[in-house]
Amino acid sequence: MKKIYSHPQSLRTVSTHYCPGCGHGIAHRLIAEVIDDLDIRERVIAVAPVGCAVVAYDYWDFDCSEAAHGRALAVATAIKRVRPQNIVFTYQGDGDLAAIGANETIHAANRGENLTVIFINNAIYGMTGGQMAPTTLLQQKTATTPLGRDASLQGYPLKISEMLALLNGVKYVERVSIHTPQEVIKTKKAIKQAFQNQIDGIGFSLVEIISPCPTYWEMPPVQALDWIKDCMLKEFPLGRIK
Amino acid sequence: MSKKILMTGNEAIAAGAIQAGCRFYAGYPITPQNELIAYMAKYMPQANGIFIQAESELAAINMVFGAAAAGARAMTSSSSPGMSLKQEGISYIAGAELPAVIVNMMRGGPGLGNIAPSQSDYFQATRCGHGDYHAIVLAPSTVHEAYYGMREAFDLADKYRNPVIVLGDGMLGQMMEPLEVAQAAAESSKYKKPWALSGCLGRAPNVVKSFYLHEGKLEEFNLLLQKKYKRIKEKEQRAEVILADDAEIVLVAYGSMARIAKAAVKTLRAQGIKAGLIRPISLWPFPETIFRKLSAGRKKRSLLVVEMSYGQMIEDVRLSVGDRFPVEFLGRGGGGVPSEKEIIAKVKHVTGKKLHR
């Protein structure tokens, strides 16, 4: 009989600390599955910066490094340069990648570092309690935009993936979502592509994953999935950007 | 056989680092340490090492974090304002117990200050940034010492898995002196790094982190750090002592300032004043044992701390000697450098002796 399902070797058999309905668990698992599929577990080095996924190293079963808030791509740049044979990826939230770490993101991308970036966009700061992220939608209420995000005061949702796609050093950018099983399958495909690109020496590859945060969106998990479809995807359309 | 070449302190630090097996450098331009980054840009690739001009001081120190985590001998360099930006990263390096070397060629402050030599970052280097950690701090005083001190800096970093700060100033960085460069390469490979990130082939996964969320775990980790710091304090105090045994006045100065103090000691001795010098080389751990030993010699004497600041190292001197000797101070800030003449005048004032000009 052919075995068609098993727990990924790259994912430890522990329960996570994530809230019910959070997207991180799905994203972690997809990465673990891709790493198993590509048979690179023993070559992978992950960089998990500050954010909800700061303890991702407790869930993945391969080498991992912490990074200060926003500095994942500086840390990853150095690891990859020192160990070009290893497969190095960062797993960053929207605050980390697009706010405090925007400079590191832009310059690592512009240097064309041969890295894989998994960018979790849930339009909010989860770890610190639901404050505005650079990707927070207009009118979206957060702890720091209690009246809703107002463009005249807080600017617009930052489309950093589109910005990065303009850079010559960037080879692959795709925005995916995990709000339906069908989109989850597409997400895995994009993650695989981003890792394969690094293995093939193609260069800087980024996958932006639209991910639910029911707790700080203050809605039940199922409604959060609908909110992705009805609201987030209007601001952040899915598909290959570069 | 070794050859003699003329080099600035900044270049000597870079050359000494490469000679010590440093194979990763990331930095950001800032005066007065630009000769260092330029030397690295030219010679690091020739040594099959990695040079990156980072987009910021923050990126540079975090690149050093990554390179150190991957097992390389890694360093960055900067000057005062840039050093402030690196503080968070240095704390992470200390918290993750990574070996790394950070050079600060100090300039005048506060704020943007100026680009003249200064020693006003002593507190920052020896008291460090957020969290209860220590960096080992070494203060070379000559181009020769800057060059050879880099090997020691990397060895200490690897030995203790701890950040090492090399604290110089703009004067040392930009002055040229003849230097005999070492021919034999450093034995950096004697420090094994089984904790480094290399992929988990044939072993359990490694994790580099400074995060301890569960109750009690961070305190446990801090106690381990404190044990390490105690070991470093016991074993790694360094100082140069000149004519201190019989001295009625002992000057205390480090780095470039110590060279001027040394000249003052020579002049004072020639004039019949028993002057001596203690030059701390390790600023953390501060060489307190050497100060304690002072009591064994002459019972009555004064100490005169001379700094290119308004008095920072003097706190460590006072903590080391307690109330056994009066501790006087001479210092200038903002790029001002106490001259030999000013030191001699101060000695005259302190000892109450008339001196020849």
Average pLDDT over residues A218-233: 98
Hey, what are B206's tokens? 């490694």
When pLDDT is cut at 50, 70 and 90, the band that residue B298 belongs to is: low
CB contact A186 to B (< 8 Å): no
CB atoms A65 and B55 under 8 Å: no
B355: pLDDT strictly greater than 60? no
CB atoms B56 and A103 under 8 Å: yes
For tokens 């009805």, the residue is A230
| Peptide bond connecting B32 to the previous residue in cis, omega within 30 degrees of 0 | yes
Hey, what are A56's tokens? 């991702």
Hey, what are A97's tokens? 């990648």
Shortest distance between the Cα of B55 and any Cα of chain A, in A, equals: 7
A188: pLDDT strictly greater than 90? yes
Q: Which of B66, B89, B202 sits opposite A77 (nearest CB)?
A: B66
Q: Which of B62, B198, B210 sits opposite A86 (nearest CB)?
A: B198
CB contact B59 to A (< 8 Å): yes
* B106: nearest Cα among B144, B131, B74, B80: B80
Hey, what are B303's tokens? 């100490």
Q: Which of A42, A67, A70 sits opposite B200 (nearest CB)?
A: A42
A225: pLDDT strictly greater than 70? yes
| pLDDT tens track for B47-85 | 999 999 999 999 999 999 999 999 999 999 999 999 999
> How far is residue B96's CA from residue A68's CA, in Å, rounded to a whole number?
11
CB contact A36 to B (< 8 Å): no
* DSSP code at position B186: P
Average pLDDT over residues B173-200: 89
∠ at Cα B159 (B158, B160), nearest 5°? Answer: 95
Q: Could you tell me if residue A193 is left (phi over 0), alpha (psi between -120 and 50 degrees) or otherwise beta?
A: alpha
> How far is residue B273's CA from residue B259's CA, in Å, rounded to a whole number?
18
| Peptide bond connecting B285 to the previous residue in cis, omega within 30 degrees of 0 | yes
* B28: nearest Cα among B103, B94, B114: B103
The beta-strand segments (E) located in chain B are: 4-8, 24-27, 50-53, 74-78, 100-106, 136-138, 163-169, 176-180, 207-208, 239-242, 249-252, 275-280, 282-284, 302-307, 327-331
B319-357 burial by CB neighbour count: b if 16+ within 10 A, else e? ebbeeebebbbbbbbebebbebebbbebbbebbeeeeee
Q: Which of A57, A67, A76 sits opposite B207 (nearest CB)?
A: A57
The predicted pLDDT at position B3 comes to 78
> How far is residue B109's CA from residue A79's CA, in Å, rounded to a whole number?
34
3-state SS, A29-50, equals HHHHHHHHHCCCCCCEEEEEEC
Average pLDDT over all residues of chain A: 97
CB atoms B62 and A68 under 8 Å: yes
∠ at Cα B299 (B345, B321), nearest 5°? Answer: 75
The predicted pLDDT at position B354 comes to 63
Give the CA count within 13 Å in the CB-facing half-sphere of B310. Answer: 5
∠ at Cα B46 (B41, B52), nearest 5°? Answer: 30
Average pLDDT over residues A59-78: 98
Q: Which of A62, A71, A82 sits opposite B24 (nearest CB)?
A: A82
* B30: nearest Cα among B44, B10, B7, B51: B10
- Give yes or no for a contact between A224 and A212, defined as CB atoms under 8 angstroms apart: yes
B297: pLDDT strictly greater than 70? no
| pLDDT tens track for B242-283 | 999 899 999 999 999 999 999 999 999 999 999 999 999 999
The predicted pLDDT at position B356 comes to 54
For an interface test with B, the pick among A79, A87, A91 (most B C-beta atoms closer than 10 Å) comes out as A79
Shortest distance between the Cα of B35 and any Cα of chain A, in A, equals: 22
B340: pLDDT strictly greater than 90? yes
For an interface test with B, the pick among A61, A82, A113 (most B C-beta atoms closer than 10 Å) comes out as A82
CB atoms B65 and A67 under 8 Å: yes
Shortest distance between the Cα of A157 and any Cα of chain B, in A, equals: 24
> How far is residue A229's CA from residue B303's CA, in Å, rounded to a whole number?
74
> How far is residue A239's CA from residue A189's CA, in Å, rounded to a whole number?
12
> How far is residue A206's CA from residue A203's CA, in Å, rounded to a whole number?
10
CB atoms A79 and B52 under 8 Å: no
| pLDDT tens track for B138-154 | 999 999 999 999 999 99
Question: H/E element holding B223?
Answer: helix B217-235
When pLDDT is cut at 50, 70 and 90, the band that residue A2 belongs to is: confident
Q: A-B interface: how many C-beta pairs under 8 angstroms? A: 134
More confident residue, A209 or B298: A209
Strand order in the sheet with B275-280: B239-242, B275-280, B249-252, B302-307, B327-331
The beta-strand segments (E) located in chain A are: 44-49, 63-67, 87-93, 116-121, 170-177, 204-210, 239-240
CB contact A207 to B (< 8 Å): no
Average pLDDT over residues B82-101: 98
Chain A residue with Cα closest to B92: A68
The predicted pLDDT at position B243 comes to 95
> How far is residue B284's CA from residue B51's CA, in Å, rounded to a whole number?
29
> How far is residue A188's CA from residue A168's CA, in Å, rounded to a whole number?
25
Share of chain B above pLDDT 70, in %: 96
> How far is residue A75's CA from residue B67's CA, in Å, rounded to a whole number?
7
The predicted pLDDT at position A4 comes to 84
Phi, psi at residue B215, to the nearest 5°?
Answer: -55, 130
CB contact A77 to B (< 8 Å): yes
Q: How many CB atoms lie within 10 A of CB A42?
A: 17
CB contact B62 to A (< 8 Å): yes
* DSSP code at position A11: B
B299: pLDDT strictly greater than 80? no
Shortest distance between the Cα of B100 and any Cα of chain A, in A, equals: 13
CB atoms B70 and A54 under 8 Å: no
Shortest distance between the Cα of B85 and any Cα of chain A, in A, equals: 13
CB atoms A63 and B59 under 8 Å: no
The predicted pLDDT at position B352 comes to 85
Phi, psi at residue B179, to the nearest 5°?
Answer: -140, 130
Shortest distance between the Cα of B312 and any Cα of chain A, in A, equals: 30
The predicted pLDDT at position B98 comes to 98
- Give yes or no for a contact between A134 and A98, defined as CB atoms under 8 angstroms apart: yes
Q: What is the ipTM of this complex?
A: 0.97
**DSSP strand pairing (B275-280 vs B239-242):** antiparallel
CB atoms B66 and A47 under 8 Å: yes
The predicted pLDDT at position A5 comes to 86
Average pLDDT over all residues of chain B: 95
The predicted pLDDT at position B182 comes to 81
CB atoms B58 and A71 under 8 Å: yes
Shortest distance between the Cα of B339 and any Cα of chain A, in A, equals: 43
> How far is residue A161's CA from residue A158's CA, in Å, rounded to a whole number?
9
> How far is residue B247's CA from residue A171's CA, in Å, rounded to a whole number?
69
Shortest distance between the Cα of A112 and any Cα of chain B, in A, equals: 13
Average pLDDT over residues A79-89: 98
For tokens 């001295």, the residue is B247
Shortest distance between the Cα of B12 and any Cα of chain A, in A, equals: 24
> How far is residue B81's CA from residue B85's CA, in Å, rounded to a whole number?
7
* CB-CB neighbors (< 8 A) of B65 in chain A: 67-68, 71, 74-75, 78
For an interface test with A, the pick among B97, B207, B218, B221 (most A C-beta atoms closer than 10 Å) comes out as B207
B296: pLDDT strictly greater than 70? no
The beta-strand segments (E) located in A94-153 are: 116-121
CB atoms A67 and B88 under 8 Å: no
> How far is residue A168's CA from residue B145's CA, in Å, rounded to a whole number?
44
